[in-house]
Homo-oligomer: A and B are copies of this chain.
């Protein structure tokens, strides 16, 4: 955690990845985040992965450092409390992150009647507000039809990484800060919509893939080959697998030198009348001629020999590892400080938790904070933000409008 945004207070009513990770990112740069959930937990409260005891590791990963308030949002009195928290006064409050539907009591229109300078960042599925999740957006946008080997024929290959969700969370945090910066200057709030589908479509457009598709048709499956330059997985003599990439000319000449392939590559260039060094695209066009050369050369080395050669020649490469191998053996991905910190989590498990992925070299990195127990801060937040008395908080408990952490 970094104390950059410590004067900001954000209220989150959201579930799953995009909305909660937006608020997580803000919190990890110092914003004080209040997460409001229905009593008993929201739609993501039991989302897998879970511990052996069934506690969600997902929920406790995405809600680190937030304060948790549990309210019965099905009743008018509970809804009013949520509205009061979202619209509470203060120049650095009035920041609301949600993936609740556009209509209803959490609509920006209704909330901004109470606090006109409210900023609402609303994550949507489709741009018209219709529900979608990462996996349905991804099916619709064509990535599963480009993934994997052509042996898959017409069968889609789903991604396992919720890439659009993750990207949307980060982009939404950026959008919120941009809107808040504007509010500092003008005093105006507004609603900001961030649809997963627009994030996906804009991403494919920004990287040229929409233009490619419109002008040249769909990109076919290329298996593990890197599109447009040299790259693929290769096996070493001792059965390790490595990903090797050469996009720049220097990466290419380094790879050729590392594998002692100068002569056969030069012969191939001469036959084909191309320069693989000067034109990265030719390495892709002629990949079926190049791959066997590299395959044989890497296949003749064991992993340690390949590592030695690659490092001596500045080759861009990595072994393939499972996540467990990465965490246990790869110093580049170790869970040591400062990014990670071992914590006791609400699941009862102790494991390293991640802080902000960025390092701010002018700030002190502060401890990573665990996720709350559901409702852990209900009383504290209602007293602090809404100045409710203990008596009033007791009444709300008795009426079942709010709940505290269950032991």
A144 to chain B, nearest CB (A): 6
A107 to B396, CA, bound (A): 57
A204 to B181, CA, bound (A): 30
**Pairwise interchain contact A181-B4, C-beta atoms closer than 8 A:** yes
Interface centre among A61, A108, A155 (most CB of B within 10 A): A61
Question: What sequence of 0s and 1s flags, for each residue 318-332 of chain A, a beta carbon within 8 Å of any chain B beta carbon?
Answer: 111111111100101
**Pairwise interchain contact A139-B318, C-beta atoms closer than 8 A:** yes
How many copies the complex holds: the figure is: 2
Tell me whether A205 and B354 are in contact in the complex, defined as CB-CB below 8 angstroms, given that A46-B281, A181-B177, A332-B130 are known contacts. Answer: yes
Question: Which chain A residues (340-392) contact chain B, with CB distance < 8 Å?
Answer: 340, 345, 347, 349, 351-363
Chain B residues, Cβ within 8 Å of A132: 316, 318
**Pairwise interchain contact A224-B158, C-beta atoms closer than 8 A:** yes
**Pairwise interchain contact A172-B140, C-beta atoms closer than 8 A:** no
Starting from the known contacts A5-B178, A145-B320, A177-B177, 13 additional A-B residue pairs (CB-CB under 8 Å) come to: A4-B179, A4-B182, A46-B280, A126-B332, A139-B233, A145-B322, A159-B163, A162-B207, A163-B163, A190-B360, A201-B333, A205-B354, A213-B327
Interface presence of A84 (CB below 8 A): no
Of all A-B residue pairs in the complex, the 9 with the closest CB atoms, nearest first, are A48-B228, A190-B362, A57-B208, A142-B323, A49-B212, A205-B354, A163-B163, A139-B243, A58-B208
Interface presence of A131 (CB below 8 A): yes
Tell me whether A210 and B323 are in contact in the complex, defined as CB-CB below 8 angstroms, given that A141-B333, A243-B158, A332-B197 are known contacts. Answer: yes
A385 to B324, CA, bound (A): 50
Question: Which chain A residues (188-205) contact chain B, with CB distance < 8 Å?
Answer: 188-195, 197-199, 201-205
A316 to B149, CA, bound (A): 28
A156 to B170, CA, bound (A): 27
Chain A binding surface, main DSSP class: mixed
**Pairwise interchain contact B147-A159, C-beta atoms closer than 8 A:** yes
**Pairwise interchain contact A128-B351, C-beta atoms closer than 8 A:** no
Interface centre among A248, A314, A349 (most CB of B within 10 A): A248
Q: How many residues of A contact B (CB 8 A)?
A: 157
Interface hit among A73-81, A214-222, A267-275, A288-296: A214-222
Contact of A321 among B52, B140, B155, B281 (CB under 8 A): B140
Question: What sequence of 0s and 1s flags, for each residue 118-141 of chain A, a beta carbon within 8 Å of any chain B beta carbon?
Answer: 000000001110111101111111
A155 to chain B, nearest CB (A): 8
Tell me whether A241 and B156 are in contact in the complex, defined as CB-CB below 8 angstroms, given that A60-B208, A192-B361, A206-B61 are known contacts. Answer: yes
A281 to chain B, nearest CB (A): 6
Interface presence of A276 (CB below 8 A): no
Chain B residues, Cβ within 8 Å of A154: 241
A4 to B119, CA, bound (A): 14
Chain B residues, Cβ within 8 Å of A139: 233, 242-243, 318-321
Interface presence of A302 (CB below 8 A): no
Identify the closest chain B residue to A206 (Cβ): B61
Tell me whether A194 and B358 are in contact in the complex, defined as CB-CB below 8 angstroms, given that A166-B203, A212-B49 are known contacts. Answer: yes
Interface centre among A141, A171, A178 (most CB of B within 10 A): A178
Chain B residues, Cβ within 8 Å of A219: 49, 160, 323
Interface presence of A265 (CB below 8 A): no
Chain B residues, Cβ within 8 Å of A203: 161, 166, 357
Identify the closest chain B residue to A317 (Cβ): B136
Interface presence of A17 (CB below 8 A): yes
Interface presence of A313 (CB below 8 A): no
Interface centre among A142, A219, A248, A355 (most CB of B within 10 A): A142
Tell me whether A206 and B62 are in contact in the complex, defined as CB-CB below 8 angstroms, given that A127-B339, A128-B332, A351-B214 are known contacts. Answer: yes
Tell me whether A323 and B141 are in contact in the complex, defined as CB-CB below 8 angstroms, given that A229-B47, A354-B205 are known contacts. Answer: yes
